[in-house]
Amino acid sequence: LNFSDPWPKKKHAKRRLTSERFLPVYERILSKDGDLVMKTDNDDLFAFTLETLALRGWTIREKTDDLHRSPYNAANVMTEYEKNFTEKGKNIHYLHAVPPVLRVTFASQPPKPELVS
């Protein structure tokens, strides 16, 4: 999730891509070894994300409040937004997280009930 809309108003928190509404979706669609990587310049969104990930049992593998001064910068691919925010002197927050071990999964089709005669 690169520089997603932070939806700063509290009443819009459910629209954030790291809200309780979206995390279960990621848990279902990520592959077995799938993970979530996020970059943002928004302090509040980063704090909100850390909190919601913890509430759902996600594991934070990597985290920094200043990506460009961290060891994680070596593998970073800078986006246009990131370049613009960095030029304005903003720190870039970064995290790498994995979903809980026990994921909720759904079959593509629910089983059909058997008819008893």
CA dist., res. 34 & res. 26, Å (int): 9
Question: Nearest 5°: CA angle at 77, between 5 and 90?
Answer: 50
Catalytic residue among 5, 43, 44, 66: 5
Q: What is the CA radius of gyration of the chain?
A: 18
Reply yes or no on whether 5 is catalytic: yes
Active site residue ranges: 5
